[in-house]
Amino acid sequence: MFFHVKELQYNAKPDRPDPVYAKKLQEILGGQFGEITVMMQYLFQGFNCRAEAKYRDMLLDVGTEEMAHVEMIATMIAQLLDGAPVDQVEQAAQNPAVGAVLGGMNPQHVIVSGLGATPTDSVGYPWNSRYTIASGNLLADFRANLNAESQGRLQVVRLYEETTDPGVRDMLSFLIARDTMHQNQWMAAIEELEQIQSAVVPASFPQNLEYQEVSYQFLDFSKGEESKQGRWAAGASMDGRGQFEYVADPIARGQVPKLNPAPAFVHATPGMEPVVANP
């Protein structure tokens, strides 16, 4: 059960309207790594959590905070659309030259949402749940969360650089700081789980059932040997169970594929047998 507090978590007050920037801000609302994504991802990971109670509680804490971030950004977008040149939008329908001047404004902010935010990204693609990950394996999920926060913070920082509006920058500065915390939070949770279990997911699968000869081999499939210089090519493996090995010329281990002819009802191209010369 959730309760709504009327006050925002932090201020979302631009100094001036900017319909074009409102379109850009949609990316961190409804984009792949936007606030709707992390909100839904953390909440479903929490709803589905069967592990220790502290993990479920933490997931629901941060998922609920992300609801607040969705509200902040939606509020900011709506205010950036205040005073949008609706008359110019109407003229643009009749005059392509005016439309060209309007440039990057999203017409759906007028036509569809009535000067409000939409659950879409910056090019109008609808948010969808395929962006979210909730596998039931907390180590796998927390690594996905770290990636989401890393990409999300990167995008917010880029948007910070694209505006000089003090009010917008103030809100983005708060979101950037919270992304700093969330990255650190997921790294701490990952470290904790890696100390309890193997660093490789899933830890429960018996390693003797995998093809162990290649478990720690780095296979160089490109020209040159620059990749040989990396930490991944020599020394102890990250899970502490093996030694990295660099393989410059990987061998093919499989068979030459040969498929059986398709049955007649499929109407595929008939197989061609090699022509054998008369003895």
Annotated binding site for Ca(2+): 57, 61, 222, 224
d(CA 36, CA 63): 10
Question: In a 3-state reduction of DSSP, which class is residue 120?
Answer: strand
How many residues belong to the chain? 279
Residue set of the binding site = 35, 57, 61, 66, 69, 149, 182, 222, 224
Map tokens 């907390």 to a residue.
138
CA proximity to 185, closest of 12, 66, 67, 28 = 66
Distances (CA, A) of 278 to 173, 222, 272, 275: 81, 44, 18, 9
The count of other CB atoms within 10 Å of the CB of residue 28 is 25
Residue set of the binding site for Mn(2+) = 35, 66, 69, 149, 182
Q: Is the peptide bond before 202 cis (omega within 30 degrees of 0)?
A: yes
The count of other CB atoms within 10 Å of the CB of residue 233 is 16
Cβ(9)–Cβ(70) under 8 Å? no
The count of other CB atoms within 10 Å of the CB of residue 22 is 27
d(CA 203, CA 137): 10
DSSP 65-77: HHHHHHHHHHHHH
- Write the DSSP symbol of residue 130: G
Map tokens 């390693």 to a residue.
207
The count of other CB atoms within 10 Å of the CB of residue 62 is 23
